[in-house]
Structure 1
Amino acid sequence: MSISIDRRQFLMGSTALLAAAAAGVGPAMSQETRMRLIFWGGQARADRTYGVTDLYTKASPGTTFDGEFLAFADYWPKLATQTAGGNSPDVIQMDYRYIVEYAKRNAIAPLDEFIGNGLNLDDFDKDQLDGGKVDGKLYGISLGANSTAIMVNTTAFEEAGIELPTRDLSYADLPAMAEKWNSSNKRAGMKLWSDYSGGEPGLENWLRQQGKALYTADGLAGFTAEDITAWFQLWADLRAADVIVSPDDQALDATDAIENTMITLGKAPVTYANSNQLIAFQAVNKDKLTMTNYPRIKAGSGGGHYRKPSMFFSLGASSKQQAEGAKFIDYFISNPDAATILGVERGIPCKSSTRDAIKPSLDEQSLVALNFVSNLGDLLGALPPSPPSNAGEVGVALKTKSQEVAFGQQSPQDAGPAFFAQATEILARAKK
């Protein structure tokens, strides 16, 4: 969705405007700064974002914005087209998965020259700052720290008289929990768990708990064919134990939109997500939600989670207004009034001063998100390297292969090596 974010009221009609131009006012008006801003997300995020742009235009007379927001799946094709055609927006919301790709093809601009010159990063979390760097240069300012999480429908669990998933829950515990759920659940057709066999973040978390990785620092696969076979087998076993939703139901969640997740569609009381999404999930769910961590691979295992930059703001490489764009980013991450509007919808603020400013104003669920990310404990591991440029293609291949297993078109033993070969080829191609 596109919108022109210009709240100023022009008080002059066309006749007065012509008179003003004749009097010499015209050149001053030509100095207006108009910036294009693009981001993904739903209406709730858009409302918060545009609330901040309103504040900024009041603080910076003469500056206006043209804003555009899209669903995640629609966002990247459009942004790729714009940047490839030299028609880059001035301020771009960027993802950790794609920042390397966009930086290496010079689609976004380095920000280093603006540090201390419009962009104040003095009390910015180092891990979040490092997350926006590519080859030693800063290409993105993290808009919030978050972690992977599962969204939990507390109302559905309470109706069934079953204890909520806890931070100690393991994948091995799910069949017994599902047996209780299937006999006590009050909602017809609702299974205990979403099928996340095609979810790259779930696979990464599972690998990290074993001391492995999804990608190595040099952009290669950090897993083996045997690992992927075991991953597909894990979900095949959960499917056979009647723990997870049917392949047909899971296929409804094809666009990464919150509205299509199993929890929102009423297919399961648990779905995989990110900690900063609790507010957005609650906005489209009538039942009360909470969140906790991904399951452990076994009792006592940890280290699968990490504090990931939820998203960045970057500057378009073809933008003619990069200095003004850097000032806007600084305002977005630093101004207390802006921070209060934004809350933790994009993640936990990365500046300590901003966190202190918003904490008194946070509602119950925002505090849940803040406390979750701040208290991961033994679940927390180091931030992995930025994904390689073709990581998005690997993620699509994983989802496709997982569906083939779910629908019985391939066994885990055949799908594991097949996906590994495909992923290896994709990553090798990125090196050429």
Structure 2
Amino acid sequence: MRNAMIGRRQLLAGGMGLALASGLAPMARAAGTPIRMVWWGNEERARRTTEAIRGFEAASDDAVSVGTEYMGWDDYWTRLATQVAGGNAPDLIQMDYRYLFEYAGRGTLLPLDEYLGNELKISDFGQANLKSCSVDGKLYGANVGVNAFGMLVDKAAWDEAGIEAPGFGTTWEEFAEKCAAFKDGTPRRRFYATADTSGQGNSFEVWLAQRGKGLYTEAGGIGYDADDAGEWFDYWAKLREARGCVPADVQAQFKNSLETSPITLGTAATDYAFSNQFVGYQEVNKASLDMAALPVLPDGAPGHYLKPSQMFVVSAKSKAPEAAVSLANFLVRDPRGALILGLDRGVPASPEIREALLPELGEAQKKSVSYISALGDLAGDLPPPPPKGAGEIYSIQLKISQEVAFGMVNPAEGGRKLVEESVSSLTR
């Protein structure tokens, strides 16, 4: 068992550092029950997760050994789908809420209800958190934390431009005005008020919710029409024309990673991310960042909602489900594992873990927790679950947003294409 133990210094040194940089953590060599775990994320997430897993191996009475693998978001879902289809699914899988219903509906995930109170001791998470990880009344996931989408704001850059930074309660109209004024006020070249988030489904979802609509209906259809989508693309087209957001060629550099985001690359003073990503963004940004809600619609409905940041699910094909569930519990509920993960995947759902974590939080971590608390009435109900096939729609929206940004289609045509291609994706 000692051969499987990898300490903090070893993890960051030599070959281990090279292995993490390549996106693949090394396979554990310990004897005992072998299981595999896979997740998406950056190197810091890999470091924390691997350290916690080694702690689990050391504490395991059953001599469990854990093989690990991680990669970026863009590659993750393709790789996972291939492994599941090939009958080679990892035992423990990091899952996003938008894909939970799709994978559970295929029968590829193991219901966890029978493990509650035994290997899985998460009753103190509360019914809301348990429900958010359930499908058709069955529990499939262990919630790693509470999460919400929002804006990343470099207030110093806004102050430098002589414009008050957007914050809680800023309207969409006010936001556009601020962004246009920012370009005239900033002394920096090729530096803009905001990233272009027209291709992000999470931002579009906030916009729709404020208008009483959503990405999807309860029946699993598209929850908006071409006019809604066209209006969304038009808002950003006008902001782009006013030089209030980054131009198309700059936004195209974003590859769904912290390192390639406009705020990190120094081309925007505002960007968009989930609260669990805030600490990671702060670590790769020299400027001090803050987090605020997206703009609001006057007299509109709440646009934000609290969601399970991620969850750990178990493959229905796992040959060692008890070991996989025990590892999930160690990571989300046992202080020995959960405190190592910290806030990387969201604010812990367990009050006891949050209480134990507070004294250890740095300034950026406290800001992440404060953002969740500050949402208040701006956070509404969890929306209907994404239907099967919804994963592809995020790529469709990104593609069409780029077509609009580069002038290949106008906003109205982009709205029609988004609806048509999204409906086609869901009906295949």
Q: Distance in 2 between matches of 1:309 and 1:30?
A: 32
- C-alpha displacement at 1:117, in angstroms? 2.1
> Is the counterpart of residue 111 in structure 1 residue 109 in structure 2?
no
Residue type of the partner of 1:291? M
Letter of the aligned partner of 1:59 in structure 2? A
The aligned residue for residue 248 of structure 1 is 249
1:123-202 alignment runs, 5 A limit: 123-202=124-203
Residue 8 of structure 1 and its aligned partner are, at CA, apart by 6.9
Deviation at 1:182, TM superposition (A): 1.7
Report what 1:289 is aligned to. Answer: 289
Residue aligning to 2:16 = none
Give the equivalent residue in structure 1 for 2:358: 359
Q: Measure the CA separation in 2 of the matches of 1:114 and 1:301.
A: 42
Query: Residue 174 of structure 1 contacts residue 243 of structure 1 at CA under 8 Å; is this kept in 2?
Result: no
Answering whether residue 84 of structure 2 is matched by residue 79 of structure 1, we say: no
- Who wins on radius of gyration, i.e. which is larger? 1
Coordinate RMSD, CA, aligned: 1.8
User: Which residue number in structure 2 is paired with residue 262 of structure 1?
Assistant: 262
Q: Deviations over 1:261-312 (max 9, x none)?
A: 11011111111110110111112111111111111133x5451000011111
Aligned counterpart, 2:226: 225
Residue in 2 that maps onto 1:37: 37
Cα distance change on mapping 1:8 and 1:257 into 2, 3 Å: closer
Q: Is the 8 A contact 1:108 1:316 kept in 2?
A: yes
- The offset of 1:30, in angstroms, is 10
In structure 1, distance between residues paired with 2:180 and 2:347 = 36
Aligned CA distance change for structure 1 residues 30 and 420 (closer, same or farther; 3 Å): closer
**Counterpart residue number, 1:411:** 410
Matches within 5 A, 1:294-305: 294-298=294-298, 300-305=299-304
Letter of the aligned partner of 1:268 in structure 2? A
Q: Under a length normalisation based on structure 2, what TM-score does the superposition of the two structures give?
A: 0.90
Partners of 1:152 and 1:159 in 2: how far apart? 13
Query: What is the CA distance between 1:172 and its match in structure 2?
Result: 0.5
Partner of 2:17: none
- Aligned length, in residue pairs: 404
Deviation at 1:203, TM superposition (A): 0.8
Offset at residue 428 of structure 1 (A): 2.4
What is the alpha-carbon distance in structure 2 between the residues aligned to residue 302 and residue 194 of structure 1?
24
**Deviation sequence 1:355-378 (CA, Å, 0-9, x none):** 112112111111111121123112
Shift of 1:208: 0.4
Runs of 4+ in 1 over 3 A off after TM superposition: none
Q: Distance in 1 between matches of 2:384 and 2:212?
A: 15
Larger CA deviation: 409-418 vs 153-162: 153-162
Whole-Å separation in 1 of the counterparts to 2:214 and 2:30: 53
Mapping of 1:47-126 within 5 angstroms? 47-61=47-61, 62-126=63-127
Aligned residue in 1 for 2:5: 7
Q: Secondary structure at the match of 2:123?
A: coil
Tell whether the 8 Å contact from 1:232 to 1:402 is kept in structure 2 after alignment.
Answer: yes
Is the CA contact (8 Å cut-off) linking 2:158 and 2:165 kept in structure 1?
A: yes
**Alpha-carbon deviation of 1:260?**
0.9
CA distance in 2, matches of 1:57, 1:370: 30
Letter of the 1:332 counterpart: L
Q: For residues 175 and 295 of structure 1, what CA distance do their matches in structure 2 show? A: 10
Structure 1: distance between partners of 2:427 and 2:183: 45
Match of 1:19 in 2: none
2: CA distance, partners of 1:234 / 1:81: 38
Q: After superposing the two structures, state which structure 1 stretch, 420-429 or 189-198, moved more.
A: 420-429
Cα deviation for residue 175 of structure 1 reads 3.4
Partner in structure 2 of residue 46 of structure 1: 46
Distance in 2 between residues matched to 1:179 and 1:397, nearest whole Å: 28
Q: Structure 1: which 5+ runs fail to align?
A: 10-28
Cα distance in 1 for residues equivalent to 2:30 and 2:212: 58
Identical amino acids, percent of aligned pairs: 39
1:319 equivalenced with 2:318 (yes/no): yes
Q: Which amino acid aligns with 1:258?
A: L
